[in-house]
Amino acid sequence: METIYFQNASEIKREKANLEKKLKVSIKINGRKAEIEGAPIDEYEATRILEAMQFGFSAAKALLMLEEDTIFVKLHIRSYTRRKNLKDVRSRIIGREGKTRRTVEEISGCHILVKESDVGVIGSSEKIEDATTAIINIIKGTKQANAYRYLERKNVERHSTDLGLKPWKNKEE
């Protein structure tokens, strides 16, 4: 049996039946404490998903982690900057009217949530590495446009089918 403590368990209470059905576990909610009971592997999956929900992701986004290579990563902003005022750093990550966060989400294909001193990212394991690198670079002070360019370059590299072979030349030319 696994136990997770929540600041706000309202989302879990609302989605309890759906979560139990999809995760194949029993969830007992007592105040701010949620107890998960089921098969060990199902408990582990449920714990991962509930941790993402505890961070602030919706149940729908957290349930994406049921896919085989989808993971949740939490970045501590203070680990990558010396600034005392994290409001400026959060502002750089979010951007004006959420534009930077939305753009990084669209290019990387990941879901991003910015909290007080943390950034949460849900995405496929190969894409999440690129998204976290871009976010870390923004935290460290690089221009947002450079982070976008990095993500676009990584997408092109990932989708290229070039084997690195030299082009074949005809002897008659």
Could you tell me if residue 168 is inside a domain? no
The pTM score is 0.84
Q: Is the pLDDT of residue 153 over 80?
A: yes
Cα gap 160→167, rounded to integer Å: 16
**152: pLDDT confidence band, cut at 50, 70 and 90?**
very high
Could you tell me if residue 9 is inside a domain? yes
In the prediction, which pLDDT does 2 show? Answer: 84
Give residue 125's domain range: 70-159
CA dist list (Å): 131 to 44, 64, 66, 150, 164: 25, 17, 20, 9, 26
47 and 88 fall within a common domain: no
7 and 54 fall within a common domain: yes
In the prediction, which pLDDT does 173 show? Answer: 52
**161: pLDDT confidence band, cut at 50, 70 and 90?**
low
In the prediction, which pLDDT does 71 show? Answer: 95
**61: pLDDT confidence band, cut at 50, 70 and 90?**
very high
